[in-house]
Structures are given as structure tokens and as C-alpha cells.
């Protein structure tokens, strides 16, 4: 009797836990079952300018403009991996702030956010499988963008990536690139935000990525700042934001199409 | 043996109930709070991400009137949203913020906020109260609070620790400060004016109030829709003819700066007329000192422009033709919208 009850509890528990898995539609084949436990992927978004590595306080020629940056930050969210069967696995609560920045004065100097470089995120609990593409958004989806009190992943109001005074449009800054146009000695503040700038990026991997078990896998994607600024003339718009909708849309479109490139596995 | 049996089904229920929680904010011990919905009000929107609780509202009220929310510990939300003025401030452009500089827009009232589901601020620049609160808290001319420091300050107060525990079953965090403030503001329902009593119980209006009510229905109710007396929408009511001043992040362009749609130039949110007699001065910039000036404006000074609301562009004229007697009658009617239980 007792064993029967324990078994029932076990079954119910498994069913309960299974019901919560966001990966309901991932079919586990017999082969996978024997192979493996969920695995880990280290995803690196390596900032570059064309063929060069990106560094702060270095002057780059971008579209004939001499640009020097002290801050590059952007939100990555809703990371999804697609396997060879076309099944999608969504990383839960995936809101990550990627950045390479010097110390930042927050809220008009009320406090300081320390200098930081963060290019790698660790994605855990990925069902074992063979993955062919990765999808993620640049920015924050409307549900969270419109309600700063909702908490998920790394979302925070305290790191200077919210528009709490930017035009009083209380939402997140999706991407921020700050520095100087050294040609004209002009300060640059190139930002995207508002729901209209939210973009989804889909990248096909050059070869299938086997994830699962104890060995972490690595995936590197380059983030090309020259691509982000494709078609942008900073002499015309040294400040890009909600008040320059055309330039902001260009930047957002560039994030979708001209910025991210998968580094072939054998070149890592 | 029977008595010792562990109720395994409880374990199952526990797992079933906790397993799927996605939001890490709990709800405290008293999840029941029923918002009062007056019979002549529309159904308010639901707020599933921030359900109202008695404990949450109490906490929100405590925070709302706590000067520790400002960087200088001298200004609370209630400094500029005063209950005795139906949560308005009384001056044209407030200088009560921490910098002492005049703000760029008139302090709006807080009345029946649970129904305000079409953007906040005069231009709708914020989607909900949970996000809106960050702006005055952080702005250097308003409360200029270091949000990190605020949390540290609140955590040092055992009373707040217990309040947050009760309201959200959790430690103090900035997003819960916002949620509690939103809950308190949504609990502010004003529906006990003479007008309400007239609608709900047939309390008679005086002859002049009745006359004003009829004029109101003819000329004002399109935008100031009863029972909220606002349509929660944005209109250009003809205050200005041109919109050339792009200073201060285009704050003088109205809702345009939020939508970037030229059709929204000069549009501002319709304010409620509830408690209007205690919330002078009027308009988004507080330019009119009293109700007579407002009605004189609608009668004589409405400025035509491409975005002027069609309701104010009828019979080959801009504005609304009102006799002096009409104006007195309208003002008499507007006095019936004052809720003495709300203004305290």
C-alpha cells in the first residue's frame, strides 16, 4: 500500500515538474535518453570593429569617421536554440546585459556603476541535442519594457540602462554606444530604445553544435560596431535616441541584420 | 500507525503549487482586496502582475508619504500630490522638488488611477504606475533619489522589513517599492460627490446645476466622459497655434514626443473633472488660474491648428460658444463633482 502511494507520488511529481518545463514540445528520443543530461553553452558575443577587436579608448575609422568609445552596452534577451528537428529550446529568464564600459555616472551623478567588460554568458540546462541555429533579441520585449517593476534575469533599474529620465519615457535603453567623434571633437550618445527598436536576430551555425552532458560547449559570435553604425553619419546625429526616430530605426535595423556573425567552430 | 502516516498528497499539492512560479515576487498573507467599482463606472482593467492586497496598499501609502524616498529626505510623493487638493499641488509649476527649480509641467491629480490604462504623465510617456514612479524618484528636479541607497535606507527600518514581508513575502527590493506605490494609488477611488449621489440615488440637483449638467452633456462630455470624467485619451484642445519650441527634450510638443506622430502635436491627456474645484490652476502647464478663465478660453481663445480636436472645430468656429450665464451654470455643475470624502 505504502509503496503504491510512494510510486503515485513519484509519478505525480514527475508529471508536475514536466508540466513546468518550457520545453514541452522537445521530443526526447531513446538515443538522447541514454546519451545524456542537459548541457551548458558558453556564449561569447565578441565586440569587434570590422576585422579589428574592439577596445575602449581606441580610435577607429567607421564610415570615414574617426570614432573613439568609452561605453558599449546592450541587452540580449529571449535566447532560443533550435535543434536539427526544428524544435526550439528557450532559455528561461534570459535577459543579459552585455557591456564594455568605463565607470558610469548614474542618475546624473547620484552614484557610480563600475567599469566592466562582459562578453560571455553561460547558458545552462540545455537539453542534450544537436543544435543548428541560435535566435535572440536585442532589447527588451514590450511586456517587460513597459513595466519596470517586473523582474527577470538581469533586468535592473539600477545599472543606467533604463530611460527613467530619458524623455521621461520610462522603459529600458536597449543599446548604448558613447564616446567621441575625434574628427570634430563631438560627444556621441548613440542609443536605441522604445518597443519600436526591439529586434530579433537569427543566426545559423556553420555546423551543428552538440550540447549535453558534462562538457561545456562554446559558441562565439562577433558583434560588429561598424555594422551597428552602418549608414549613420554622426556629424548629423551625434545624439541618437527617441527624438531621432529615423537614425534610431537605422541602428535597430543594423542590430538585426548587420551586426552579428557566427565565428566558425574551427576558428575559435 | 494510521496517525503517523505522512500526508503525501500535501507534498504533491505543494510541488504543484510552487513548481511553476515564474515571478519571484510572492503575495503576502492577505491577498484579498476588492477595489470598489462604482455602479456608473466602467470595468477597470486588471493588473495580474501586481494584484492589490491590503498589505500592499498599506505599504504603498506609507511609502507615498515618506520623505526618505527623496535624495534629500525632505520630499515625499505626497509633497506634490496632496490629499487635501485631490492629490494635486496648487501651484502653476511646482518648485517643491529637491532642486527648487520649477518643473516643466503642472502636477497632475491622482483620482481613480485604477482606471488610467492609457498611459501616464500629460503625454502618456509611461505605460503604468509601476514604471512611472521611477521618473519622479530619479529626476534631479523632483526627488533625485539614488535607488540603491533608497533600498539600503528602507532595509534599516524594521517596520519596512515587516511591511514588505507582509505585502510581498520577500525582502525589500526596488521593484516592490514601485508595486506598492502603484497599489496604493489604484486604491484611491473618488465617487462620493453630489453628482454621484444624483446618479445613483436620484439626489436632486439645483436648477442652475441642472442647467450646467445639460450644457456639460452638450459641450464637454465627449472628452470628459462620465463617470470618470475623462476618456483617458489625448487631445489638442487649442491652447497653442504653433509648436516650435523643441527645448527640454521636446516637452512642449505634447504627445508627439512619445509617439513621433505629427498628428499628436500639442495633444495632452484629458484630465478628470472630478474634484476640479480644488485642483486649480488648470491645464498641463497650469496656465489658467480658475474655472472661469478655462471657460473663457473655450469660448473665445481656442487656437486653430492642424491637430486641433474636431470637437472644438464646429459651426465654422474654433471653440465652444458659451454665454456668461452658461459659464456660471457649468461652474455650478462642476462643483457637484467635488467629493468631500476624498478631499481631506
Helix ranges (H only) for A21-79 are 30-35
What is the distance between the alpha carbons of residues A142 and A171, in angstroms, rounded to a whole number? Answer: 9
A169·B258 Cβ contact <8 A: yes
My answer on whether B208 and B173 are in the same domain is no
- Min Cα separation B77/chain A (Å): 16
Distance set, CA A50 to CA A75, A83, A175 (Å) = 21, 30, 19
User: Is pLDDT of A33 > 60?
Assistant: no
Q: Is residue B274 part of a domain?
A: yes
Per the annotation, does B17 bind a ligand?
no
By C-alpha distance, the chain A residue nearest B135 is A164
My answer on whether B205 and B278 are in the same domain is yes
CATH number for the domain harbouring residue B148: 1.10.760.10
Is A15 an 8 Å CB contact of chain B? no
Per-residue pLDDT tens over the stretch B131-169:
999 999 988 899 999 888 899 999 999 999 999 999 999
Residue A243 with chain B: CB contacts under 8 Å: 249-250, 257
User: Is pLDDT of A169 > 70?
Assistant: yes
Provide the domain count of chain A: 1
B257·A17 Cβ contact <8 A: no
> Domain of A104?
37-267
Would you say A71 and A178 are in contact if contact means Cβ atoms under 8 Å apart? yes
Q: What is the DSSP letter of A162?
A: B
Confidence (pLDDT) at A140: 96
My answer on whether B330 and B233 are in the same domain is yes
Per the annotation, does B223 bind a ligand?
yes
Would strands B313-314 and A217-224 be described as parallel, antiparallel, or unpaired? unpaired
What is the distance between the alpha carbons of residues A135 and A209, in angstroms, rounded to a whole number? Answer: 14
| Average pLDDT along chain B | 91
Per-residue pLDDT tens over the stretch B201-247:
999 999 999 999 999 999 999 999 999 999 999 999 999 999 989 88
Residue B175 with chain A: CB contacts under 8 Å: 148-151, 157
- Residue among B139, B176, B249 whose CB faces A243 most closely: B249
The backbone torsions φ and ψ at residue B196, rounded to the nearest 5 degrees and listed phi first, read -60, -40
My answer on whether B33 and B177 are in the same domain is yes
- Residue among B127, B140, B249 whose CB faces A167 most closely: B249
Q: Is residue A30 part of a domain?
A: no
Q: Is residue B251 part of a domain?
A: no
> Domain of B287?
194-240+269-335
What is the distance between the alpha carbons of residues B212 and B80, in angstroms, rounded to a whole number? Answer: 31
Confidence (pLDDT) at B31: 66
By C-alpha distance, the chain B residue nearest A11 is B12
What is the distance between the alpha carbons of residues A62 and A88, in angstroms, rounded to a whole number? Answer: 37
Q: Is residue B121 part of a domain?
A: yes
| Average pLDDT along chain A | 87
- Residue among A12, A157, A168 whose CB faces B147 most closely: A157
A164·B71 Cβ contact <8 A: no
- Min Cα separation B123/chain A (Å): 10
Residue A93 with chain B: CB contacts under 8 Å: 22
Provide the domain count of chain B: 2
Per-residue pLDDT tens over the stretch A238-252:
999 988 989 999 999
User: From first to last of its 344 residues, what are the pLDDT tens digits of chain B?
Assistant: 334 444 444 444 444 444 333 344 566 556 679 999 999 999 999 999 999 999 999 999 999 999 999 999 999 999 999 999 999 999 999 999 999 999 999 999 999 999 999 999 999 999 999 999 999 998 889 999 988 889 999 999 999 999 999 999 999 999 999 999 999 999 999 999 999 999 999 999 999 999 999 999 999 999 999 999 999 999 999 999 999 898 888 899 999 988 889 999 999 999 999 999 999 999 999 999 999 999 999 999 999 999 999 999 988 899 999 999 999 999 999 999 999 999 98
Q: What is the DSSP string of B114-129?
A: GG--S-BSTT--BSSH
B178·A245 Cβ contact <8 A: no
My answer on whether B93 and B149 are in the same domain is yes
Helix ranges (H only) for A91-196 are 142-145
My answer on whether B113 and B44 are in the same domain is yes
Any bridge partners for residue B82, and if so which? B88
B249 CB contacts (<8 Å, ≥6 apart)? A167, A168, A243, B257
Pairs of CB atoms within 8 A across A/B:
117
User: Is pLDDT of A18 > 70?
Assistant: no
Amino acid at each position: 500500500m505504502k509503496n503504491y502511494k510512494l510510486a503515485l507520488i513519484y509519478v505525480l511529481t514527475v508529471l508536475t515538474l514536466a508540466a513546468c518545463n518550457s520545453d514541452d514540445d522537445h521530443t526526447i528520443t531513446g538515443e538522447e535518453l541514454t546519451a545524456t543530461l542537459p548541457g551548458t553553452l558558453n556564449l561569447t558575443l565578441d565586440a569587434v570593429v570590422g576585422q579589428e577587436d574592439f577596445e575602449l579608448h581606441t580610435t577607429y575609422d567607421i564610415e570615414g569617421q574617426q570614432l573613439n568609445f568609452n561605453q558599449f552596452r546592450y541587452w540580449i534577451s529571449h535566447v532560443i536554440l533550435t535543434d536539427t528537428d526544428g524544435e526550439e529550446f528557450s532559455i528561461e529568464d534570459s535577459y543579459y546585459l552585455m557591456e564594455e564600459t568605463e565607470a558610469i555616472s548614474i542618475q546624473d551623478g547620484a552614484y557610480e556603476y563600475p567599469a566592466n567588460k562582459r562578453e560571455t554568458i553561460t547558458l545552462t540546462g540545455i537539453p542534450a541535442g544537436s543544435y543548428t541555429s541560435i535566435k535572440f533579441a536585442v532589447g527588451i520585449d514590450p511586456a517587460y519594457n513597459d513595466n519596470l517593476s517586473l523582474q527577470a534575469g538581469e533586468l535592473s533599474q539600477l545599472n543606467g540602462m533604463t530611460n527613467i529620465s530619458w524623455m521621461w519615457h520610462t522603459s529600458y535603453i536597449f543599446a548604448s554606444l558613447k564616446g567621441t567623434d575625434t574628427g570634430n571633437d563631438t560627444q556621441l550618445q548613440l542609443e536605441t530604445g522604445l518597443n519600436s527598436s526591439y529586434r530579433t536576430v537569427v543566426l545559423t551555425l556553420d555546423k551543428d553544435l552538440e550540447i549535453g552532458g558534462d562538457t561545456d560547449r562554446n559558441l562565439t559570435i562577433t558583434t560588429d560596431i561598424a555594422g551597428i553604425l552602418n549608414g549613420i553619419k554622426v556629424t548629423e546625429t551625434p545624439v541618437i535616441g527617441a527624438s531621432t526616430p529615423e537614425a534610431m530605426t537605422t541602428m535597430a535595423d543594423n542590430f538585426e541584420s548587420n551586426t552579428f556573425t557566427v565565428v566558425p567552430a574551427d576558428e575559435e | 500507525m494510521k496517525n503517523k502516516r505522512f500526508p503525501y498528497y500535501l507534498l504533491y499539492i505543494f510541488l504543484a503549487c510552487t513548481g511553476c512560479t515564474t515571478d519571484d515576487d510572492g503575495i503576502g498573507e492577505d491577498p484579498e482586496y476588492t477595489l470598489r467599482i462604482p455602479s456608473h463606472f466602467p470595468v477597470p482593467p486588471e493588473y495580474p502582475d501586481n494584484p492589490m492586497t491590503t498589505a500592499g496598499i498599506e505599504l504603498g501609502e506609507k511609502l507615498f508619504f515618506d520623505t526618505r524616498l527623496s535624495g534629500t529626505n525632505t520630499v515625499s510623493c505626497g509633497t506634490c500630490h496632496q490629499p487635501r487638493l485631490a492629490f494635486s499641488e496648487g501651484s502653476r509649476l511646482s518648485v517643491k522638488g529637491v532642486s527648487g527649480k520649477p518643473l516643466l509641467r503642472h502636477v497632475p491629480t491622482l483620482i481613480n488611477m485604477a482606471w488610467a490604462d492609457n498611459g501616464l504623465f500629460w503625454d502618456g510617456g509611461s505605460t503604468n504606475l509601476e514604471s512611472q514612479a521611477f521618473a519622479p524618484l530619479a529626476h534631479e528636479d523632483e526627488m533625485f533619489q539614488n535607488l540603491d541607497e533608497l533600498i539600503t535606507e528602507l532595509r534599516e527600518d524594521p517596520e519596512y522589513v515587516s511591511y514588505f514581508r507582509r505585502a510581498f513575502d520577500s525582502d525589500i527590493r526596488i521593484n516592490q517599492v514601485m508595486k506598492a506605490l502603484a497599489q496604493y494609488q489604484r486604491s484611491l477611488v473618488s465617487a462620493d460627490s453630489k453628482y454621484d449621489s444624483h446618479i445613483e440615488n436620484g439626489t436632486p440637483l439645483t436648477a442652475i446645476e441642472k442647467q450646467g449638467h445639460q450644457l456639460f452633456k452638450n459641450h464637454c462630455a465627449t472628452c470628459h466622459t462620465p463617470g470618470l470624467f475623462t476618456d483617458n485619451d489625448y487631445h489638442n484642445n487649442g491652447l497653442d497655434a504653433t509648436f516650435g519650441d523643441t527645448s527640454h527634450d521636446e516637452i512642449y510638443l505634447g504627445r508627439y514626443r512619445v509617439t513621433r506622430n505629427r498628428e499628436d502635436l500639442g495633444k495632452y491627456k484629458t484630465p478628470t473633472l472630478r474634484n476640479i474645484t480644488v485642483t486649480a490652476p488648470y491645464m498641463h502647464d497650469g496656465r489658467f488660474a480658475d474655472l472661469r478663465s478655462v471657460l473663457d478660453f473655450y469660448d473665445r481663445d481656442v487656437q486653430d491648428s492642424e491637430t486641433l480636436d474636431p470637437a472644438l472645430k464646429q459651426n465654422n468656429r474654433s471653440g465652444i460658444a458659451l454665454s456668461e450665464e452658461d459659464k456660471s451654470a457649468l461652474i455650478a455643475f462642476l462643483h457637484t463633482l467635488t467629493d468631500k470624502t476624498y478631499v481631506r
